[in-house]
Amino acid sequence: MDMRSRVASALKDAMKQKDAARLSTLRLINAAIKDRDIALRGEGEDGGVTDAEVIGILGKMVRQRQESARAYEEGGRLELAERELTEIEIIQEFLPRQMSEGEVDAAIDTAIAETNAGSIRDMGRVMGVLKDRHAGQMDFGAVGPRVKKRLSA
């Protein structure tokens, strides 16, 4: 089942169960996917949003909510922070399982070996391979410095 179908199915289930918080979050996900569809049509692409793009959209939504939750906690608005954290949990149900530190290290080693990367100039190619294969499974903001460290050693 593709990502769009999974979200639609979960949306129907949330309606049946009258789960307002879950329904609201799933509608936000659906709206973000449709917004991307419209943007692609504006660019002249008719294919629609791929599963990889949906994973990217969901990852962005999680990051936005993490930042909001942090800001709410710093501002003493704990009820709003809790709502953001609940939304994060719902969104993460649709994301692939996050890789462990060991799995990330192995993926970096494999990507370096496959691209024959030998210096920091090859970092873009290595990151490209990692993003193609492991989108949504690792935090590329944290992986970038690790790849850089490996290539400069």
Report the topology of domain 3-92.
Hypothetical Protein Yqey; Chain: A; domain1 (1.10.1510)
pTM greater than 0.85:
no
Residue 45: pLDDT over 80? no
- What is the pLDDT confidence band of residue 2, given thresholds at 50, 70 and 90? confident
Residue 144: pLDDT over 90? no
Cβ proximity of 100 and 86 under 8 Å: no
Domain 101-152 top-level CATH class: mainly alpha
Check residue 149 and give its pLDDT: 87
User: What percent of the chain is modeled with pLDDT above 90?
Assistant: 39
Ranges in the chain annotated CATH 1.10.10: 101-152
Ranges in the chain annotated CATH 1.10.1510.10: 3-92
- What is the pLDDT confidence band of residue 96, given thresholds at 50, 70 and 90? confident
